[in-house]
DNA sequence: GACAGTTGTCGGCCTTTCCGACAATTGGC
DNA sequence: GCCAATTGTCGGAAAGGCCGACAACTGTC
């Protein structure tokens, strides 16, 4: 492993997944995936002009995923992935059927050893304390010696950049509860956290405690094409934001993909935009379903505190091609659905069901 | 420069010299030096048993200095050097007469761009402020904009491990003076500083500000053979202290030296023990002097705040061999002197005069 | 030895943050 | 729907740290 950091360091994939959330999965190395230029465009922070290249970009391109860099924004700690794809010939489409077994590894390990909490007003604003949910303290934090009075210890947690943060962890109050006191206020200020943001604690395989951040999504639930990626986070000048997915890089990726050459894409899992690099295995399975109006489905989503996965129940109201002129035959945004309880029109990708 | 840190990083030689103090000099690379096993033994933290090797260890051994690692204790920030020596045949003793020109480089640069202050009670104990001597603020710190009211800036200083510390630097009060406020208290606590310890500010050649520590010498002035190196610093469990110069490593070095093989020594410049690796050039010069009782000399020493060099005036009271049985013909501790003003017997090495 | 410049120490006060009390909320039965 | 467990919020209190006042000290003339 040579000096590979040109100011861009990778981070522990397990921590990356813990920060990305339970629903994000990156297909395994060397597996086959579909790349959707259309979805990539929705991921960008502006309208994409595909004109630079001959108007022959397909709506989806079969590729081999040859590399993944798990990374984090230098300023916001937001996680993202740099994915290298090599287009395959269409007749290479024999599925690697064994990937579901291996795909969920980091994923499940992250879920088991991590815990997320959305910051309350008291956590974020008040005099510098963080109320630690009992489950988190007991399963993620180092063991506390309850015999001392009061039980107290210093915990050290590494952020996505490998920087260490110290917190005083104390068990006190009536009724007793776990709190982070000294050090927490500093962390909140340095990371510019606000009520509504979440923090993730994870116990790494080497036993080290890690701490990650999930900024609150400003756009509320779901998002859609109307929300770009670079919507800007409060309190940050757009230093790194400028480096987020720009339309030019989408056009370039699509152009390279179309002529069969290796290309790179940057994927922000928490940007409320759908995945545009999709495992060929799962897509081919969902395409076998004959989606039709009136059909019911359920779709997983994260609860606010990321502690569980809940399910949306819905009914398909319309099966249509999103942009029949530009992208005929595209499975992208094929379904328009009616959500049962919120009675709100959502958009969804076929393969997510 | 390959990955050469087996958890042992070198530090900027200029900062090293600033921390070591104005009187410490390490002979230049590839110059000829004398190694004194006797002096090395005084540097160790316990009695040295030279018996393991045949009883033929000379009192001094001519060597070539082939490598120097400038280092700092991980816990106390104390600076020390790991010096590699290759014994030379006695007939190799032709002097490299050009070294005085080059020897003082780091030395003088460090002296010019650094400033040391001994911490007062107020600096160390009170509510977290450090009174910055005007000279230090004006010559070492980055320029302050005096037009704002009050003039204030954040300064960043790197310690010997390359870690950055932030301080608020403000110019206020009546009469006006420079102070470090926010950040200082944290630094004092982390570094376990006490009144009497000194801190060193240095402006590196690349413009960066550096901060080093000189722990107070617990043994008062001078020290001597009765003080070992590992005298223990208040507030530190002896984690690294155990790694200081142990008798075994002295015995090993002496044994290797005696049979003409390359060896390493560790030298703590602030351990109040005399240098035991001495430039052949300067030693040969001082040995040309016919030292005799009643002769007067002067000897440089550091003032408490390390801002200047002062001189001790003394009279030689006795010329004797320190241990005539074990080390006959040794120039080590040849002179016993009477100090004029303190009227206290000090010991000194011939070559230091 | 007086004076000017510098810097050590102190007490006041403002800010931060630590703390238990209490209440709101959640989940289990 | 009740009860127990958990955890959000609040105001009081303690600690930390910023401040100018003043005095002690140093070096100079």
Residue A350 pLDDT exceeds 50: no
Cis peptide before A28 (omega within 30 of 0): no
Nearest protein residue, CA measured to C1' of D9: A122
Tracing tokens 């155990």 back to the chain, one arrives at B242
Note the CA–C1' distance, A115 to D3, in angstroms. 28
Top-confidence range, A54-63, A176-185, B39-48? A176-185
Summarize the confidence of residues A295-324 as an average pLDDT: 49
E strands of B220-348, at which residues? 263-267, 277-279, 296-302, 309-319, 335-339, 345-348
Average pLDDT over chain A, rounded to whole? Answer: 72
Q: Which nucleotides of strand C come closer than 7 angstroms to any CB of the protein?
A: 5-12, 16-23
**Which nucleotide is closest to the Cα of B127 by its C1'?**
D17
Length reported for chain A: 353
**Which nucleotide is closest to the Cα of B129 by its C1'?**
D17
Note the CA–C1' distance, A210 to D12, in angstroms. 35
Task: Convert the pLDDT of each residue in A92-148 to its tens digit.
Answer: 556 555 555 555 555 555 567 889 999 999 999 867 799 999 999 999 999 999 988
Please report which confidence band the pLDDT of residue B257 belongs to, taking 50, 70 and 90 as the band edges: confident
Summarize the confidence of residues A211-239 as an average pLDDT: 57
Distances in Å between the Cα of A228 and the Cα atoms of A42, A241, A257 are 7, 12, 22
In angstroms, the CA B239 to CA B241 distance is 5
In angstroms, the CA B7 to CA B9 distance is 6
Are A33 and A277 contacting, i.e. CB atoms less than 8 angstroms apart? yes
Residue B235 pLDDT exceeds 90: no
The token duo for A61 is 């391109």
**In percent, how much of chain A has pLDDT > 90?**
28
The token duo for B128 is 């977290």
Q: CB under 8 Å to B190, separation ≥6 — which residues?
A: none
Q: Are strands A114-118 and A198-203 parallel, antiparallel or unpaired?
A: antiparallel
Please report which confidence band the pLDDT of residue A39 belongs to, taking 50, 70 and 90 as the band edges: confident
What percent of chain B is helix, strand and coil (3-state, nearest 5)? 20, 30, 50
Top-confidence range, A207-221, A270-284, A292-306? A207-221
In angstroms, the CA A14 to CA A50 distance is 35
Average pLDDT over chain B, rounded to whole? Answer: 72
Q: What is the pLDDT of residue A25?
A: 80
- For B230, phi then psi, to 5°, come to -85, 55
Residue B227 pLDDT exceeds 50: no
Are B350 and B287 contacting, i.e. CB atoms less than 8 angstroms apart? yes
Q: Which domains does chain B have, with CATH numbers?
A: 13-110+218-352 (no CATH), 120-195 (2.40.330.10)
Distances in Å between the Cα of A107 and the Cα atoms of A9, A28, A84, A150, A288 are 21, 11, 20, 36, 26
**In percent, how much of chain B has pLDDT > 90?**
26
Note the CA–C1' distance, B248 to C3, in angstroms. 61
Nearest protein residue, CA measured to C1' of C21: A174
Note the CA–C1' distance, A203 to D23, in angstroms. 56
**Which nucleotide is closest to the Cα of A135 by its C1'?**
D6
**In percent, how much of chain A has pLDDT > 70?**
59
Residue B232 pLDDT exceeds 70: no
In angstroms, the CA B254 to CA B259 distance is 9
Are B80 and B267 contacting, i.e. CB atoms less than 8 angstroms apart? yes
Q: What is the pLDDT of residue B351?
A: 36
Residues 151-190, chain B: which have Cβ under 7 A from strand D?
A: 168, 170, 172-175, 179, 181-182, 184-186
Q: Cβ of B129 < 7 Å from strand D?
A: yes
Residues facing residue A181 across a β-bridge: none
Summarize the confidence of residues B2-18 as an average pLDDT: 72
Summarize the confidence of residues A32-46 as an average pLDDT: 76
Residues facing residue A168 across a β-bridge: A154
In angstroms, the CA B193 to CA B186 distance is 10
Q: CB under 8 Å to A203, separation ≥6 — which residues?
A: A113, A114, A140, A209, A210
Note the CA–C1' distance, B174 to C2, in angstroms. 22
Task: Convert the pLDDT of each residue in B120-170 to its tens digit.
Answer: 999 998 677 999 999 999 999 999 999 888 999 999 999 999 999 999 999
What single string gives the DSSP state of each residue in A222-274?
S--TTS-S----TT--STTGGGS--HHHHHHHHHHHHTT--EEEEE-TTSSS-
**Which nucleotide is closest to the Cα of B170 by its C1'?**
D18
Task: Convert the pLDDT of each residue in B310-344 to its tens digit.
Answer: 444 544 444 555 555 555 555 554 444 444 333 22
Residue B171 pLDDT exceeds 60: yes
Instruction: Say yes or no: ipTM exceeds 0.85.
Output: no
Q: Cβ of A172 < 7 Å from strand D?
A: no
Residue A228 pLDDT exceeds 80: no
Summarize the confidence of residues B65-93 as an average pLDDT: 85
Q: Cβ of B294 < 7 Å from strand D?
A: no
Are B295 and B335 contacting, i.e. CB atoms less than 8 angstroms apart? no
Note the CA–C1' distance, A293 to D24, in angstroms. 91
| A144 burial type by CB count under 10 A (0-12 exposed, 13-18 middle, 19+ buried) | middle
Residue A339 pLDDT exceeds 50: no
Q: In what order do the strands lie in the sheet with B198-203?
A: B114-118, B198-203, B209-214, B152-158, B164-172, B177-180, B130-132
Q: Cβ of A168 < 7 Å from strand D?
A: no
């Amino acid at each position: 492993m040579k000096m590979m950091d040109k100011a861009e360091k990778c981070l522990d994939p397990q921590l990356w997944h813990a920060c990305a959330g339970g629903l994000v999965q990156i297909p395994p190395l060397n597996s086959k995936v579909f790349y959707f230029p259309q979805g990539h465009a929705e991921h960008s922070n502006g309208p994409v002009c595909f004109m630079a290249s001959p108007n022959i970009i397909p709506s989806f391109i079969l590729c081999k995923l040859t590399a993944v860099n798990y990374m984090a924004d230098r300023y916001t700690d937001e996680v993202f992935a740099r994915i290298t794809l090599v287009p395959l010939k269409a007749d290479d489409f024999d599925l690697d059927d064994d990937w579901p077994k291996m795909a969920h590894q980091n994923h499940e390990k992250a879920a088991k050893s991590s815990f997320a909490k959305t910051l309350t007003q008291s956590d974020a604003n008040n005099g510098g304390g963080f109320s630690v949910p009992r489950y988190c303290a007991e399963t993620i934090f180092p063991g506390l010696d309850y015999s001392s009075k009061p039980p107290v210890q210093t915990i050290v947690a590494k952020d996505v950049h490998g920087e260490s943060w110290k917190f005083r962890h104390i068990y006190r109050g009536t009724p007793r509860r776990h709190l982070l006191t000294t050090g927490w206020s500093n962390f909140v200020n340095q990371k510019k956290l606000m009520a509504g943001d979440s923090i993730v604690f994870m116990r790494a395989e080497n036993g080290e405690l890690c701490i990650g951040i999930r900024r609150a999504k400003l756009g509320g639930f779901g998002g859609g094409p109307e929300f770009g990626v670079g919507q800007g986070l409060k309190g940050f000048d757009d230093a790194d934001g400028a480096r987020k997915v720009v339309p030019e890089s989408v056009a370039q990726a699509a152009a390279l993909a179309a002529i069969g050459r290796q290309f790179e894409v940057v994927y922000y899992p928490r940007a409320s935009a759908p995945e545009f690099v999709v495992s060929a295995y799962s897509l081919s399975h969902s395409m076998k379903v004959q989606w039709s109006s009136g059909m019911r489905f359920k779709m997983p989503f994260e609860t606010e505190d990321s502690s569980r996965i809940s399910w949306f129940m819905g009914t398909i109201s319309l099966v249509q091609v999103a942009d029949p002129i530009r992208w005929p035959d595209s499975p992208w945004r094929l379904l328009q659905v009616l959500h049962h309880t919120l009675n709100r029109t959502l958009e969804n990708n076929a393969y997510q069901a």
